[in-house]
Structure 1
Amino acid sequence: MATIVVIPSDTRERLALRRRIHQLIPSLMGARVMSACNEIKVYKKRWLILTLFVVYSASNAMQWIEYSIITNIIAKYYNVSEYVVDMTSMIYMITYIPLIFPASYLLDNFGLRCTVIVGALGTAIGSWLKVFSIAPDRFWITFIGQTVVAISQTCILSIPARLAAVWFGDNEVSRACGIGVFGNQLGIAIGFLFPPMLVPKKDSCEIERGLQRMFYSVAAITSIILVLILILFKSAPPLPPSSAQVVQREKSENNKDVKKFFNSLARLYSNRGYLLLLISYGINVGIFYAISTLLNRLVTKEYQDSEEDAGRIGLTIVCAGMVGSIVCGILLDKTHKFWLTTVGVYICSLIGMIIFTFTLDVKIYVVYITAGLLGFFMTGYLPVGFELAAELTFPEPEGTSTGLLNAVVQLFGIAFTPLYRYLLSIWEDFWANVALCCILAIGVLLTTLIPNDLRRQKAKA
């Protein structure tokens, strides 16, 4: 005999309500997680992270030019040719090209902290190797140390755009990228200024004492920076600082393998605007590298016993460029006119190079002024190019796009430096510089052909 159970209506209603709540819980939890993922917050610690990177970048960059700016002194002490001394600068460019791909993969898949630690460790090790090279027959040791530092550079040049995007808000990204590039330029400025002051053009004993002061100081500084990075540097804040970074984080979670990394490279190589930027950016910065490497020869040929002037002129170029980097970064944050700013700064770089060419043999104080004008635009162009690359290639990782940009720069630097050296040997300085002006003019033309396709700005809209 069947038993019929009668459930009061209020109980049925309670059971139905309970079932409904159980059905809603997963969707409510999903909405809550989605809301958390989309939350945006800008942290005060971003300025500490940026400052640490600037100091770290400077500690590596100051070693790039420390030999070349006193080429004649180094060649005399180690009894090597000036070409071999120039190679201490070019090794930065040569090692970067094959190693940028593993460095970009390291940055994209292991984050800022891991990449920065690897670079800081290599910079410190290379600096200490140089300490053991203070003897006329140990140039090979100093070159090994320089090579280790140069390899570590691959963990630096692609960082500014990524660090700015990961840590800074929508209206601060370009400014932060400019400050990040400022670190590299600060290091180059130090490399121009202090070697001529620390290593005098005297007898071998005085040169040796100067090299000791320089190498021990750099080794101590890089070691302190390494310790600070190990303690304080972080990869990313807990929450994204911008809407564009929300999209980037979601994409990066699905792209952490080698195949997708190379797929990203393939997409970059099919981007017409980005390819045009690669060539034009490489021309501009490659010419800057050539002038910086051969500045000692250029100035001392025009003005006798002017080693310290060569260093100070290099310092003027870079300091003006640091101001230019900051000004351009602020301009980009205020206007978001990435294409127009890039074209304008490039044209001004060409004008600055023309003025520098026509005033090189006038008076030494005039060279300081025209070199500063050249540096303001030519070096100030660096963060502008980084930011335009990020706009053209979004949402591809910034480390990959800027890494390729810097790899092409090294290629052009390797090509232009010996070309410039050859032209200086067969022509007067004037005509060698005219040739560089013509190459820069080609870069201006290519820059105007870049499409104004600002993909990152569209994602923010």
Structure 2
Amino acid sequence: MSRVSDLETVSKENASNEFKEESPIEAGMTSPPHVHNELPYRLYKRRFLGLLGMVILNIVAGLSWPWFGPIANNMVSDFDITLNEVSWLGTIEACIYLPMALSIPYLYSRFGLRRCCDIGAIALVLSAWIRYAGTVKSLSSKSAYTLLMFGQCFAGVAQPVYQVLGPKYSENWFNLQGRTTATMIVAIANPIGSAIGQLLSPLVGDSRQSILVLAIVSTAVVPFILLIHSQPPIPPTYAASTPSAPFGVLARDILLPKRSHESKMSGRQRLDFVIIAWIFGVLVAATNTFSILTAQIMQPVGYSDDVSGFMGACLLLTGLVAAIVTAPLFDRVFTKHLAITGKILLPILGGAWLSLIWAVKPHNTGGLFAIMTILGVTSVTMLPVGLELASDLSRNAEGSSAILWFMGNLLNIVFVLAVDALRAGPNAEPPLNMRRGLIFNGAFVLASVLLVLLIKGEQVRKTLDEEKLAEARAVVTG
């Protein structure tokens, strides 16, 4: 394999100029060079700075979607709008997310990773200050609400950039011993941002002050974009040195395989990818829906806002711990066991969601916290597993990630509307309970996750990377 001059995309953003002064040893090369030969794959310490930038920006991009839920009543009184209009401030962001997610692979192929992240950062700042412009008291209610909605549209542009490109950044900068861990770190950053948004928005003053704080935070993180670079001069793996197929090719490969003349996936791999995308979307939707409606699910059966919040925090925190522990194991120990892991954990996860139908009842705090722990450990662990397995099957990290996150947000809209519509009436016992919504959620999740038993989960990309690395080592040592 050739060196820097043969990499087609290194010229983007003049990346080679930024790395010429970094020696092979300082760069963290996977193997020391020989007299005349050295491995064509290297690692650079700079990858951790870029990872930090991706994480920080992803966290802040996740703040705005749930920001207005906890202050909904204040928004109603301060802006003279309805609760339904407040809900649409989050819904419109999810709607904009969908087409934007599918456009990111094209933007990546056209402009590169760094420029895509720049677009996300610009959209983040625009969303922040357009929203704040809507807090001017001299504006009419309709004018203020229009600006708030317009700002949320830009937030819908920013959020998918860092979620979708997380697996691609991992592929570009990390080798087989760190790729899944890097994907996990970026993937969980957005849920962390959503949790912080729910906690922070009611703590920083009235609704106008809250929107100002969001604008300041969104602007303050923009310099972290300088830490992110598209790719290193010398790739860490074979996959990183090979451009992905255009997103249209991947879409045709999945939807119209008989008409795709550039197919990379076999029929078995295509079926596995479709199943993974569906399960990923269902799990993201179920988890987000429960997070949004936790208080509305728990309050009718006697749990306070504080206890409901602690349950949501328990799900997230236990999941974070589990993901931090398991991701390095997938990189270094269970390197070819992603599918097996899914077949073990997903049925347990489905059973836990189903059990909420009977567990959400008065005086069952301990049982509910136990279920939240199971949900957190299994669901958050499966987040990087799904993203990496889809990338391995498709050999297209940014394209597969776009499809998975698109499915998650599309089904999230469906789940929120369905569960809310299934709410019991004020004359039910207890009034306004969400039991029918829990039945829908649990039954749908369990039926979907059992499809994992049908997948083979061949990690084609990882196998090819290992083969190319072995060939390179044979050349160096031979």
Query: TM-score, length-normalised on structure 2?
Result: 0.78
Letter of the 1:323 partner, please give it.
Answer: V
Cα distance in structure 2, aligned partners of 1:404 and 1:326: 25
Partner of 2:116: 115
Higher mean alpha-carbon deviation, 437-446 vs 339-348, is at 339-348
Letter of the 1:332 partner, please give it.
Answer: F
Partner of 2:322: 324
8 Å CA contact 1:39–1:240 kept in 2: the answer is yes
Partner of 1:456: 461
Partner of 2:188: 182
Matches within 5 A, 1:408-419: 408-419=407-418
Matches within 5 A, 1:224-373: 224-229=220-225, 231-246=226-241, 248=242, 251-252=243-244, 260-269=246-255, 270=257, 271-303=270-302, 306-333=304-331, 334-336=333-335, 337-363=337-363, 365-366=365-366, 367-373=368-374
What SS class does the counterpart of residue 241 from structure 1 fall into? coil
8 Å CA contact 1:167–1:236 kept in 2: the answer is yes
Letter of the 2:358 partner, please give it.
Answer: F
What SS class does the counterpart of residue 65 from structure 2 fall into? coil
Q: Structure 2: which 5+ runs fail to align?
A: 8-35, 258-269, 468-478
Letter of the 2:234 partner, please give it.
Answer: L
What SS class does the counterpart of residue 67 from structure 2 fall into? coil
Cα distance in structure 2, aligned partners of 1:355 and 1:177: 30
CA 1:352–1:192 in 2, change beyond 3 Å: closer, same or farther? farther
CA 1:349–1:421 in 2, change beyond 3 Å: closer, same or farther? same
Higher mean alpha-carbon deviation, 134-143 vs 61-70, is at 134-143
- Tell me the alpha carbon deviations over residues 102-121 of structure 1, each in whole angstroms, 9 at most, x when there is no partner: 22211233221111111111
Higher mean alpha-carbon deviation, 286-295 vs 78-87, is at 78-87
Deviation at 1:153, TM superposition (A): 1.6
- Tell me the alpha carbon deviations over residues 387-427 of structure 1, each in whole angstroms, 9 at most, x when there is no partner: 11011112xx2111110111111221121111000112457
CA 1:196–1:344 in 2, change beyond 3 Å: closer, same or farther? farther
Deviation at 1:357, TM superposition (A): 3.7
What SS class does the counterpart of residue 221 from structure 2 fall into? helix
Matches within 5 A, 1:88-127: 88-127=89-128
Matches within 5 A, 1:41-52: 41-52=42-53
Cα distance in structure 1, aligned partners of 2:461 and 2:80: 53
Partner of 1:442: 447
- Tell me the alpha carbon deviations over residues 226-276 of structure 1, each in whole angstroms, 9 at most, x when there is no partner: 1231x3321111111123323x2xx44xx5xxxx44123212434221111
8 Å CA contact 2:43–2:235 kept in 1: the answer is yes
Cα distance in structure 1, aligned partners of 2:247 and 2:103: 10
Deviation at 1:59, TM superposition (A): 0.3
- Tell me the alpha carbon deviations over residues 345-384 of structure 1, each in whole angstroms, 9 at most, x when there is no partner: 3223223323444333334853455334323322332211
Letter of the 1:225 partner, please give it.
Answer: V
CA 1:346–1:87 in 2, change beyond 3 Å: closer, same or farther? farther
Higher mean alpha-carbon deviation, 148-157 vs 326-335, is at 326-335
8 Å CA contact 1:68–1:296 kept in 2: the answer is no
What SS class does the counterpart of residue 235 from structure 2 fall into? coil
Partner of 1:39: 40
Looking at CA atoms only, which structure, 1 or 2, has the larger radius of gyration? 1
- Tell me the alpha carbon deviations over residues 67-103 of structure 1, each in whole angstroms, 9 at most, x when there is no partner: 1244444344434333332222222321122222322
Cα distance in structure 2, aligned partners of 1:33 and 1:278: 34
Partner of 1:375: 376
Letter of the 1:329 partner, please give it.
Answer: A
Cα distance in structure 1, aligned partners of 2:201 and 2:347: 33
Cα distance in structure 1, aligned partners of 2:383 and 2:305: 27
8 Å CA contact 2:163–2:186 kept in 1: the answer is no
Count of matched residue positions in the alignment of Structure 1 and Structure 2: 409
Cα distance in structure 1, aligned partners of 2:88 and 2:381: 26
Cα distance in structure 2, aligned partners of 1:363 and 1:300: 12
Q: Runs (4+) of structure 1 moved beyond 6 Å?
A: 32-38
What SS class does the counterpart of residue 362 from structure 1 fall into? coil
Of the three residues 215, 219, 222, the one matched with 2:215 is 219
Letter of the 2:168 partner, please give it.
Answer: R
Partner of 1:4: none
What SS class does the counterpart of residue 41 from structure 2 fall into? coil
What SS class does the counterpart of residue 150 from structure 2 fall into? helix
Cα distance in structure 2, aligned partners of 1:378 and 1:89: 23
Partner of 2:262: none
Matches within 5 A, 1:74-93: 74-93=75-94
Letter of the 2:169 partner, please give it.
Answer: L
CA 1:343–1:197 in 2, change beyond 3 Å: closer, same or farther? farther
CA 1:92–1:378 in 2, change beyond 3 Å: closer, same or farther? farther
Cα distance in structure 2, aligned partners of 1:301 and 1:82: 19
Letter of the 2:197 partner, please give it.
Answer: G
Q: Identity across aligned pairs (percent)?
A: 20
CA RMSD of aligned residues (A): 2.7
8 Å CA contact 1:58–1:188 kept in 2: the answer is yes
Matches within 5 A, 1:120-135: 120-134=121-135, 135=137
Letter of the 1:99 partner, please give it.
Answer: M
Cα distance in structure 2, aligned partners of 1:314 and 1:128: 30
Letter of the 2:323 partner, please give it.
Answer: S
Deviation at 1:319, TM superposition (A): 2.4
Cα distance in structure 2, aligned partners of 1:139 and 1:375: 36
Cα distance in structure 2, aligned partners of 1:76 and 1:287: 31
8 Å CA contact 1:352–1:377 kept in 2: the answer is no
Partner of 1:420: 419
8 Å CA contact 2:56–2:224 kept in 1: the answer is no
Deviation at 1:61, TM superposition (A): 0.4
Cα distance in structure 2, aligned partners of 1:358 and 1:435: 13
Partner of 1:206: none
8 Å CA contact 1:174–1:387 kept in 2: the answer is yes
8 Å CA contact 1:390–1:401 kept in 2: the answer is yes
Q: Structure 1: which 5+ runs fail to align?
A: 1-28, 199-208
8 Å CA contact 1:185–1:322 kept in 2: the answer is no
Cα distance in structure 1, aligned partners of 2:224 and 2:280: 33
Higher mean alpha-carbon deviation, 271-280 vs 46-55, is at 271-280
Partner of 2:165: 159
Deviation at 1:38, TM superposition (A): 6.3
Deviation at 1:60, TM superposition (A): 0.8
